[in-house]
Structure 1
Amino acid sequence: MKKILYTLAIVATTTLVSCDPLEDITNEVKTETNFEGKAELTMSEDNYKKDLQLKNPYFSNFDQAKALIPTLLNKTYPGAGEAEALVTFKIDAPKTTPSAPVYKIADAEYNPITGNNYKNFDKPEQLISYLNTKYPAAANGDFVSLNYKYYSGSVSVVTDGFLYNGTSWTKIPGFTLDQYKAMGEGYANFSSKTEAEQKLPIGLLDLYKFDSKKTGDVVQSMYELYDSSTKSTTSYVANFEFNGTAFVKYQNFVTQTLSFTRKKNATTWTLNSAVSYTLATQDYASIEASLATKYPNPAANAGKYKNFERRNGSQNFWTNDMIAEGLTFVINKMAPLAQEGEKYNVTFAIYNGAAGTESLTVVKKGNNWIVL
Structure 2
Amino acid sequence: MKKLLILIGVVGLLSAVGCNPMDDIYDEIDTSLKVEGTVDYTLTDDDYSSLDLSHSNFSSIDEAKALIPALLKKKYPAFTANSLAKVTFNIYDPISIKEYTVTDSDYNEAGLSTDYVTEISDIQDILKFKYPQAKEGDYVKLTYNAIATPIQDTLTNDDYDLIGTELASQYSDAASSAAYNNDFDKRTGKSSYWTDDMIAEAILVVLNDRIDDASEGELYAVTYDTFNDNYEHVFQTMTFRYDGNEFSKFNSTPDGEYYQYTQSDYSLVATELADEYPTAASNLADHGNFYRKYTDNSSYWTDEMLIDAASVVLNEHFPDAADGKVFEIEFDTYGASNTETLTLVKNGNSYEPATSISITEETNVFAYTNGTWNEPLTLEKQDYYDMGLNYPDFDNMDDAAYKIGIFLNKKYPYAEPGDMVAVAFDYYSGGLRTRYANFIFEDGAFQYIPAVKEKSLQFGYDGSTWVPDNTIQYTFTTADYNFVAVELKDVYPDAASNLLSFGNFNRTGGSTSWNDEMMLDAINVVLDNLDPGAEVGQKYQVSYTIYAGGYSIETKSVIKAEDGTWVYN
Same fold (TM over 0.5): no
* Rg larger for: 2
TM-score by length of 1: 0.39
Higher normalized helix content (fraction of residues): 2
TM-score by length of 2: 0.27
